Structure 1
Amino acid sequence: MSAHPVPGKSKSKTKATIALPYWVAEFALIRTAVLVAVACVTISLTALLVSGWKLGEADERLEQAQRTRDVAYARFAHVDNEKRDIRNFQPRYIELRDRGLIGAERRLEWVDIIRQSQERRKLLPLSYEIEPQQVVRLESALDLGDYQLHGSRMRLHMDLLHEMDLFNFLDDLRLRSFFAVQDCAIKRLGRAAGAVGGPTLGADCTLNWITLDTAPKAEPAPATRRRAP
């Protein structure tokens, strides 16, 4: 009597004997190396990203430092230029200030200058009137910085022995003050007025005393009228 194979048992035995691919069967041998490689790649990518981020921050800090340096250098250069300008212009500034151009007007000093010139040169009697100070409006723009140009008009009358009396008088004023001659008219006097020792000429001039001042003018100075003996 022949034996018949049992269905079910032969089929399961066939499945059990199927061979797996070699790389699956041997994966256990390289599993540790693969995990290490994956970890290394992950760490490398993370380090790369962090390095790029840090590099970007470093570039931003470098640019900011360069901008700060440029600003500091510009300020240093500006201060250095100002110091050089001060050294170059300070003597001239002091000279102009001492002569009365810069600062508040020195009306009393003007009166004293006129008196001293008249006494020293033995001039004939003269009279003058100084009007209130006014802001000077220039036709063309002039950069004066924080300063403002002011002028005080003086109307002057002089009796002269000769023309040089007027010129010497104006030279004395110019040495210790700043002014501009707006107009000046000299006329010859009659014979009676031109007696021996008396005046032969008469001069009527308009002068503008000039000052540069930063202080605001609350009220104009009152007119000054004087007649020198």
Structure 2
Amino acid sequence: MNKLILLRHGESIWNKENRFTGWTDVPLSEKGRDEARRAGELLRSFSIYPDISFTSLLKRAIVTRFLVMEELDRLWTPAYKDWRLNERHYGALQGLNKLETSEKYGAEQVHIWRRSYDVRPPQVGDEDPRYPAHDARYQMVQEKLLPHGESLEDTVHRVLPCWKERILPEAEKGKTILVAAHGNSLRALIMMLQNLSPKQIVDVEIPTGKPLILELGENLTVLNQYYLG
């Protein structure tokens, strides 16, 4: 049966510092690099070898994929990058320490920004360097599509076309696929594949560096799922 491997990148330096990261392109911490290598070891121990990979445009996902495939000795397999697999854009929260933000705005408000389905965080302006139009890697994206700050719902609407246009056709060929991405972009895929409601998906947590295996049957329905390790 088809296998779809969903892997949240290893711990980043801003995960370690408890900061909102979003589209900020921060590197993995040393622990995060170890988590990525361990993910590769786990896949090898279960004889799960991706035929093709997809990542976001953010280095923490790209490097995670590289380290996994290096462990599997499959760096030669195709890898595709797509901005639509980026993490949720946290708007004006990006770069802020989560605890300090709670102290400033109140824990309840920050919880709403973080865990609700359809509430956006405070938006960045067009001149803010956190607005993706200022980043060269997004020059090929229509500016009207670039976010100033996203809810989880916005992220879902961004990720699903990527699934339909790029990942699904490979799954339909029976390939084993690795998607190395981010907590919220992976939740978007899980929501779609498992037909979860907005209320259900907000409670789904995805740990860093642990491969989630989805075994897909006919019509790519999820027959089984489990974390390795």
Same fold (TM over 0.5): no
Decide which structure has greater helix share.
1
TM-score (norm 1): 0.20
Question: What TM-score do the two structures reach when normalised by structure 2?
Answer: 0.20
Compare CA radii of gyration and give the structure with the larger one.
1
